[in-house]
Amino acid sequence: MPVRGIRGAVQVPDNSSQSLAREVPVLIQEMLEINQLSYDCLISILFTSTPDLNADFPAAAARSLPLGDVPLICAQEIEVPHGMPRVVRVLMHVETDIPRKAIEHAYLGATKDLRRDLAQ
């Protein structure tokens, strides 16, 4: 079965564990739902966050979902002048027969401005 990458992003309201715990699972679920995928399709998830988000790991917030043994890892985005603050980005690797051009990416709220070419 082919492996595909799905992109997503969400801006959290503040640098707190609670905000990450609220927003990150919503993003992951949206990425799966719009592509009609189940948790069983997941291979791994890479999270990045802007330097101003250091209250917790986005992967820790995602663990509230039934991810089982899905490998998760976090990294920090480079600090770009005038970049959007408080953003968690996701690159989800999945097994699916969905053609690459048919994959839907999830940029929630203000993050639609990050990738107008991909955002719904």
Residue type, 40: D
Q: Output DSSP code: residue 64.
A: T
Asked, for residue 119, whether it belongs to a domain, the answer is no
Averaged over successive runs of 10 residues, the pLDDT of the chain (120 residues) comes to 96 97 98 97 98 97 94 96 95 97 95 72
- Please classify residue 53 by burial: count the beta carbons closer than 10 Å to its beta carbon, then call 0-12 exposed, 13-18 middle and 19+ buried: buried
Asked, for residue 78, whether it belongs to a domain, the answer is yes
pLDDT at 58: 97
Active site residue 100: no
Asked, for residue 96, whether it belongs to a domain, the answer is yes
Confidence (pTM): 0.93
Active site residue 107: yes
The residue annotated as part of the active site, out of 22, 30, 39, 77, is 77
pLDDT at 119: 54
Question: What is the sign, positive or negative, of the torsion defined by CA atoms of 12, 15, 20, 21?
Answer: negative
The residue annotated as part of the active site, out of 22, 30, 39, 63, is 63
The residue annotated as part of the active site, out of 7, 23, 41, 86, is 7
Q: What is the CA radius of gyration of the chain?
A: 14
Phi, psi of 31 (to 5 degrees): -60, -40
The residue annotated as part of the active site, out of 22, 30, 39, 74, is 74
pLDDT at 55: 97
Instruction: Return the H-helix or E-strand segment holding 27.
Output: helix 17-34
Asked, for residue 118, whether it belongs to a domain, the answer is no
Q: Output DSSP code: residue 86.
A: S
List the CATH number of the domain containing 96. 3.30.1330.40
The count of structural domains within the chain is 1
The residue annotated as part of the active site, out of 4, 23, 86, 89, is 89
Asked, for residue 22, whether it belongs to a domain, the answer is yes
Asked, for residue 88, whether it belongs to a domain, the answer is yes
Q: Output DSSP code: residue 119.
A: -
Asked, for residue 120, whether it belongs to a domain, the answer is no
Asked, for residue 30, whether it belongs to a domain, the answer is yes
Active site residue 77: yes
Instruction: Please answer whether residues 40 and 116 qualify as being in contact, where contact means their C-beta atoms are separated by less than 8 angstroms.
Output: no
Active site residue 95: no
33 is in which domain, residue-wise?
3-113
Question: What is the sign, positive or negative, of the torsion defined by CA atoms of 83, 88, 93, 95?
Answer: negative
- Please classify residue 29 by burial: count the beta carbons closer than 10 Å to its beta carbon, then call 0-12 exposed, 13-18 middle and 19+ buried: middle
